[in-house]
Chains A and B, each alone.
Chain A
């Protein structure tokens, strides 16, 4: 079956620090990969996505590259801000050959806190 594994949290960083959040996956088909973010008191929002191997998704200074050889989609940002404090979820949707299925499988999420 499909699964997503995220590094354990929470993570606390100082402003302007470099961020890496690890994510690895297991999938039976040809997955698309996503990072969703949940800011305090708000709903889940798509942060970025990549739909095939070697694609790089980017948004708001965050980047993640779809690595098929390591089955990974690690999230990075060069300089975090206090406003990046949120819960980050890695997710996949599996595209089975000849089929269509965009149901998301999520990792457990990781809480990021950025100190001024």
Chain B
């Protein structure tokens, strides 16, 4: 597609429920990234994919967070048993590949509110 597409754009969920956030990267981009943006923490790296594999999952906050990517394209970030501290904007981004210096393009984010 023309840009990185994320859905849903807004999600309100009850504490303890599971949520899935979807990312559709720019066509042809092999690298895909998930970041989280919150007031207290700024922009935090969560995980990135090169193709379908995830060489770096170091930013996932806990084992309640997981992500997968299939077919080298769409990715899903899943948060199980959501907590109020998970409320944030979840940003997906993609780039042509993982070479440093490549431009990373961001989606508009999925705003998650846990009540």
Contacts and interface: CB of A to CB of B under 8 A. Distances in A.
Interface stretch (B15-23, B61-69, B77-85, B91-99): B91-99
Interface size range of chain B in the complex: 20 to 34
Interface in A31-60: 31-32, 36, 42-46, 49, 51
A102 interface: yes
B45 A102 contact: no
B109 interface: yes
A102 B104 contact: yes
A44 B103 contact: no
Given A44-B91, A109-B43, A104 B98 contact: no
Interface string A65-106: 000000000000000000000000100011100001111111
Contacts of B103: 46, 49
**Secondary structure class of chain B's binding surface, majority of residues:** strand
Contacts of A93: 100-101, 104
A100 B99 contact: yes
Contacts of A36: 106
B42 A102 contact: no
Given A43-B91, A44-B91, A102 B43 contact: no
A101 B106 contact: no
Given A43-B91, A44-B91, A49-B101, A103 B45 contact: yes
Interface of B: 31, 33, 35, 42-43, 45, 48, 56, 91, 93, 95, 97-109
